Chain A
């Protein structure tokens, strides 16, 4: 059991039958009243966010979660197969758990897989990934307009907006949290 003074960013708790992570917290105490801790919580399965206030003296249950580093091997269309980098155990993660993150998954990438009550429920990717552009319109020579972009298709099938000077066959760095182009990389 956690007490309210254990509340920190990143603390994982069990509440209403789901695991939650504390994303923000604030100690509040009205002059004449009880102390409370205001929290912002993110559901580790659905990503839903809510605010919850805990009164000092209330206890919080630790979430039954574990996190393991897993290497991505391949996809068979229905599941994404990964391997535990410590035990070499292999596991198939259903496509619906991976969701849109499949846009940034490349073979051999090591991801953090969150298990809730023994089942994989979410993935945490590295913040940045380097991917090859498989298709984009040719850049227009001489167009140096600041901030102008075009669409490009990546080797994973995802599309990303890139500056006009980027050519097909080049590699780019993408932020997996926002899906945005960061910079061109030389390979």
Chain B
């Protein structure tokens, strides 16, 4: 199973599409690792710098409809190549979400209210998230502030995460 704990990167925008996550011109790469330097290269967010802001981050927190646009699986791969296995958002594009779990990664939806609160409380401080997978909860910590949030994922998605993705799941089961 992959790790889902670490420092959070806040992307305060709706509709971040897969072209922003990984531009189409890198789809000709032949390994997942080769995508690493290009994650969020064309990100449309004021003040964002993909070289600087991604450092040491392993979780993304964002808003509505993350991963919309083309269904390319290069989007989760580019995240994974950068050690980011968990995206928390108020909603996801359907195929992106499937691709995440198929890769043994997690795309977790929280209500817009909870996302709003997390943004208002944590987005300006260095935030550490601890994921308690068995308990389906996150603990967010920034300095003295600490908060626990529960999440829900389907049974199948849980099994995929535990197996390490669809390839591993299928290989052990069929």
Partners in one complex: no
Q: Which residues of B contact A (CB under 8 A)?
A: none
Contacts from A to B (Cβ < 8 Å): none
